[in-house]
Amino acid sequence: MRIYTVKVGQLNQYIKHFEETGLPIISKYSKLIGYWYAETGELNQLVHIWEYESFEERVAKRKALYEDSEWLENFIPTALPMLLKQESRILNATGFSPIR
Residue 53: give the domain boundaries: 2-88
On whether residue 64 sits in a domain, the answer given is yes
On whether residue 47 sits in a domain, the answer given is yes
On whether residue 100 sits in a domain, the answer given is no
On whether residue 94 sits in a domain, the answer given is no
Q: How many residues does the chain have?
A: 100
> How many Cβ atoms sit within 10 Å of the Cβ of residue 25?
18
Show pLDDT as tens, one digit a residue, over the chain (100 residues).
999 999 999 999 999 999 999 999 999 999 999 999 989 999 999 999 999 999 999 999 999 999 999 999 999 999 999 999 999 999 988 999 988 7
Q: What is the CATH number of the domain that holds 38?
A: 3.30.70.100
What's the rounded Cα separation, in Å, for the pair 35 and 2?
9
How many structural domains does the chain have?
1
On whether residue 95 sits in a domain, the answer given is no
Contacts of 23 (CB under 8 A, 6+ apart): 32
